[in-house]
Amino acid sequence: MTNEEAKFVLHAYRANGADAGDPTFATALEQVRRDPALEKWFAAQQAFDRAMCAQLGRIAPPAGLREAILTGAKFSHAPARPSAAWWRSPRLMALAASLAVLATVGIALWPKDAAAQPALLEFALNDTLHARHEGQHGDEAAQFQALLGTTNTRLGAGVPVNFEELRERGCRTISFQGRDVLEVCFKRDGKWFHCYVARVEDFPSVAAKLPPAFRSEGGVAAGAWSDGEHIFVIASKAGRAAIERLI
């Protein structure tokens, strides 16, 4: 089985693990265990599916949808009246209501979650390229900076952040979409990096937990991820490979 064949099969794998014992997926899952690139893709796919399910669970159907559908079924064999306006037809009303639900789901799920994280990446890239980075130098910022610069620290595994303390007494604070984002510069292995931190609660359109996503522009690379409480973006001229090693 090739990776593309495995991906085709795994698109149907439910994110809640209900298919773990299904032999249909056994070969594809074994391919995931053998191939790190496919494993990374699968983790991202499952995270996206969980985010989609979470958002879908928050959407309430329009009031009266069930009644409209049942009424449409009841009149499904009624003679057609060409002169009647479409909105007087129960079947067409039910169809319109169903389409409204689909449109609501599409608007709620796709544009926001698809656009929010790239927007943060774009913001960090632009700030790294063009802004001045002289910030405050309080104790909290110095401690956080030292942690980020520690060679063996894997940032994607979890970084303790006291957002309020850093904002009030340590970090450079900048505004993105009307919300505060903190920025700390740090050095590791002789290269400079910029760490941007935002609170998940300030950007509800970003899924609480997302695997890393990357983007490059103008000689600067950036990687973004969220851990449930905070959204992190690391940007640097050191390149994507250097950022991946940090995460």
**Per-domain residue ranges of the chain:** 3-57, 113-246
What pLDDT, on a 0 to 100 scale, did the predictor assign at position 84?
A: 52
- Predicted confidence at residue 56, as pLDDT, reads 67
The pLDDT value given to residue 49: 73
pLDDT at 130: 83
User: Taking Cα atoms as reference points, which of 236, 216, 235 lies closest to residue 225?
Assistant: 235
* Integer Rg of the chain from CA: 24
What pLDDT does residue 80 have?
Answer: 55
Per-residue pLDDT at 213: 86
Residue 85 has a pLDDT of 54
Starting at the edge strand found earlier in the chain, the sheet holding 172-176 runs 172-176, 179-188, 191-199, 230-236, 220-227, 209-217
pLDDT along the chain (247 residues), means of 10: 82 82 87 88 79 68 72 58 53 55 45 54 88 64 88 85 87 89 92 93 72 87 88 93 91
Question: What confidence score (pLDDT) does residue 20 get?
Answer: 82
Instruction: Check: pTM over 0.75? Answer yes or no.
Output: no
Assign residue 126 a region: left if phi > 0, alpha if psi is -120 to 50, beta otherwise? alpha
